[in-house]
């Protein structure tokens, strides 16, 4: 894919770190720089709508997506996102229809899905190695195909947040009120869940099941502390996630660190959050006096 | 339902076309009958209150009106004077949002109308319209505040401003003063009354506070799963009806001690006033 080579060479020039002169590191960085804004873009609503548990359920379904691929002898490249999408839409469907609280519905789905995945995988000893890569992820193994699909999804997300950001805020405040104001609540909710599911499944490759939710909520939670407006929150989330991805990946590859890249990125984002919490606390003090 | 229905509702209904007509509304959720053949109407230009005890299905009736839940029966809403689709403004009972969300009062006011995403800011046109709505409910000066720091009373006014932005023909309020102290409640009701007189919308409000209702309503629908009585407050809120709807302890309240209605309809004839005059 020659068109990506230009970008890789560009990365090597503008970031003249020794570690970034290798092709797999350039791919990893580009992957992170696409994933970070994606998770920031959907993460703003994950935080404001308290959907962290929803995100957890989908990330765990990635595992079951692979199991289904094994059964049907289809590449997990297809079964993972398709199954994740299905789970996201199914949770949203039952949430919209049921009187049970969200947590209960998601918890029930979650248990069933994880149990199914484990049951299938436990029959097949060869997959044990894959299980570990699912838990921790590995951004260093992503290829050009992954990068192209990330790029496509990022563009779709930018379009969605341009058209739907205000209405999504409204739905987050109150779906009933939004509907009374002629907002197409159901369409927005389904489209958002679908996009969220796809972002999560793509992120599982990079940072692993254990840290996907962190990628979504940590930058957005920090952004919330810094932002004075709902509009500003999106910019802060983008800024924090991109800087964390950049610093995290470079630090993880340093000879003195040699840490897992996903975990390092999340750690840097967490540092941002600590700073933001102090900032918010001081800001709160100021407004009280 | 029909056997305890008062004759008052007949006088009320015949005088003009109602703004909203509920016909045989039945709602069953999870095997429980929440509304049982509710038939009632909201006269045009009136300030109508739905009263009843907790669990009487008052909010459910509003949700059916707003198309939020499936129901059996028929709800007809009169078209606007211009012949257009009627516009409905809705003020919910409470907002269950995350208070840490950095949404400002101004953003709250424009999020339903502005196309340009809020991460590019608020357009001037929308800004000035929102400011005039905020001043109508006396919230000007708070536009830069985050909504998470507003008091219960301020949130109620903000929700009212948002609903008024719809330029409503029908304003629907669900327990608008719940969680607000008595003084806040009466301020809110005065404000609402003034706005209704000025803009001429029909108002439909759910309440369990009988004093507020009799003070501010021109038409009352008294219900507990079924409609027990409907009509002018002084005709409906009799000791017998109250006892039937609210149960024994409400019988201790003497309906003669309730304040007299002091609101007027904005449309002539809507509550049968002329016939009684």
Tell me what the mean pLDDT of segment A267-289 comes to. 82
Contacts of A185 in chain B (CB under 8 A): none
Residue spans of beta strands (DSSP E) within chain B: 18-29, 32-43, 47-51, 72-77, 88-91, 170-174, 202-207, 219-224, 226-231
Tell me what the mean pLDDT of segment B34-62 comes to. 89
Q: Give chain B's domains with CATH numbers.
A: 2-87+171-276 (3.40.50.300), 94-166 (no CATH)
Greater confidence (B268 vs A215) lies with A215
Q: Using one digit for the tens of pLDDT, what is the confidence trace for B176-227?
A: 766 677 777 778 888 888 888 888 899 999 887 777 777 778 898 988 888 8
Tell me what the mean pLDDT of segment A134-157 comes to. 87
Is the reported ipTM for this assembly greater than 0.90? no
Q: Using one digit for the tens of pLDDT, what is the confidence trace for A3-59?
A: 788 888 888 888 888 778 888 888 888 999 999 999 999 999 999 888 888 888 888
Which of A130, A21, A155, A111 lies closest to A67, judged by CA?
A130
pLDDT surpassing 60 at residue B5: no
pLDDT surpassing 80 at residue B81: no
Whether B161 and chain A come into contact, CB under 8 Å, resolves to no
Between strands B202-207 and B88-91, the pairing is unpaired
Could you please state the CATH topology (level 3) that the domain comprising A2-210 is classified under: ABC transporter involved in vitamin B12 uptake, BtuC (1.10.3470)
CA distance A214 to A81: 19
- Res B121: pLDDT: 92
Contact at 8 Å (CB) between B46 and B203?
yes
- Res B131: pLDDT: 94
Q: Does the predicted model carry a pTM greater than 0.90?
A: no
- Res B250: pLDDT: 53
pLDDT surpassing 70 at residue B159: yes
CB pairs under 8 A between A and B: 94
What order do you get walking across the sheet with B32-43 strand by strand? B32-43, B18-29, B72-77
**Most confidently modeled range among A200-214, A224-238, B185-199:** A224-238
CA A84 to mean position of chain CA atoms: 13
Phi, psi (degrees; rounded to nearest 5) at A17 = -80, 145
Q: Say yes or no for a CB contact (<8 Å) between B67 and A179.
A: yes
Contacts of B111 in chain A (CB under 8 A): 166-167, 169-170, 173, 230
Greater confidence (A42 vs B81) lies with A42
Chain B closest CA to A177's CA: distance in Å? 7
Give the range among A5-19, A86-100, A111-125, B261-275 with minimum mean pLDDT. Answer: B261-275
Tell me what the mean pLDDT of segment A68-97 comes to. 86
Greater confidence (A18 vs B110) lies with B110
Contact at 8 Å (CB) between B62 and B126?
no
Q: What is the percent of chain B with per-residue pLDDT over 70, rounded to a whole number?
A: 82
Gyration radius of chain B's alpha carbons: 19
Contact at 8 Å (CB) between B199 and B231?
no
Whether B28 and chain A come into contact, CB under 8 Å, resolves to no
């Amino acid at each position: 894919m020659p068109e990506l080579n230009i970008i890789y060479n560009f990365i090597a020039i503008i970031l003249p770190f020794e570690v970034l002169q290798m092709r797999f590191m350039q791919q990893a960085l580009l992957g992170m720089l696409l994933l970070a804004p994606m998770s920031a873009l959907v993460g703003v609503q994950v935080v404001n709508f308290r959907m962290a548990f929803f995100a957890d359920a989908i990330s765990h379904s990635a595992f079951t997506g692979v199991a289904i691929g094994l059964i049907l002898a289809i590449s997990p490249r297809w079964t993972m996102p398709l199954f994740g999408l299905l789970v996201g839409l199914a949770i949203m469907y039952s949430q919209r229809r049921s009187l049970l609280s969200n947590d209960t519905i998601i918890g029930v789905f979650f248990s069933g899905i994880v149990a199914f995945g484990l049951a299938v995988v436990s029959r097949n000893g060869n997959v044990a190695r894959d299980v570990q890569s699912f838990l921790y992820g590995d951004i260093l193994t992503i290829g050009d195909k992954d990068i192209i699909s990330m790029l496509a999804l990022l563009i779709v997300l930018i379009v969605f947040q341009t058209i739907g950001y205000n209405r999504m805020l409204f739905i987050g405040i109150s779906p009933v009120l939004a509907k009374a104001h002629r907002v197409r609540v159901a369409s927005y909710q389904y489209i958002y869940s679908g996009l969220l599911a796809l972002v999560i499944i793509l992120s599982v490759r990079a940072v692993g099941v254990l840290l996907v939710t962190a990628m979504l909520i940590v930058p957005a939670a920090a952004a919330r502390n810094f932002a004075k407006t709902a509009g500003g929150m999106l910019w802060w989330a983008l800024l924090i996630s991109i800087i964390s991805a950049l610093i995290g990946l470079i630090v993880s590859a340093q000879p003195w660190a040699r840490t897992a890249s996903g975990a390092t990125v999340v750690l840097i984002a967490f540092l941002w959050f600590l700073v933001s919490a102090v900032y918010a606390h001081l800001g709160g003090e100021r407004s009280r006096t | 339902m029909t056997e305890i229905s008062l004759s008052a509702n007949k006088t009320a209904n015949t005088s003009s076309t109602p703004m909203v007509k509920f016909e045989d509304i039945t709602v069953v959720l999870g095997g429980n009958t929440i509304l049982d053949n509710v038939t009632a109407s909201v006269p045009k230009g009136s300030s109508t209150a739905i009263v009843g005890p907790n669990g009487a299905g008052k909010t459910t009736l509003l949700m059916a009106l707003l198309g939020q839940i499936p129901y059996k029966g028929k709800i007809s809403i009169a078209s606007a004077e211009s012949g257009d689709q009627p516009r409905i403004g809705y003020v919910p009972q409470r907002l269950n949002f995350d208070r840490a969300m950095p949404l400002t009062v101004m953003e709250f006011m424009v999020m339903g109308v502005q196309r340009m995403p809020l991460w590019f800011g608020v357009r001037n046109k929308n800004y000035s319209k929102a400011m005039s709505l905020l001043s109508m409910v006396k919230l000007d000066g708070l536009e830069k505040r985050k909504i998470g720091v507003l008091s219960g009373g301020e949130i109620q006014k903000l929700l009212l401003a948002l609903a008024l932005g719809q330029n409503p023909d029908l304003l629907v309020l669900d327990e608008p003063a719940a969680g607000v102290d008595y003084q806040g409640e009466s301020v809110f009701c005065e404000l609402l009354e003034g706005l209704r007189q000025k803009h001429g919308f029909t108002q439909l409000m759910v309440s369990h506070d009988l004093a507020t209702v009799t003070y501010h309503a021109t038409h009352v629908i008294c219900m507990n799963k079924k409609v027990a009585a409907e009509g002018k407050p002084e005709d409906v809120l009799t000791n017998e009806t109250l006892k039937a709807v609210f149960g024994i302890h409400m019988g201790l309240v003497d309906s003669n001690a309730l304040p007299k209605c002091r609101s007027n309809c904005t449309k002539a004839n809507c509550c049968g006033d002329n016939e009684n005059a």
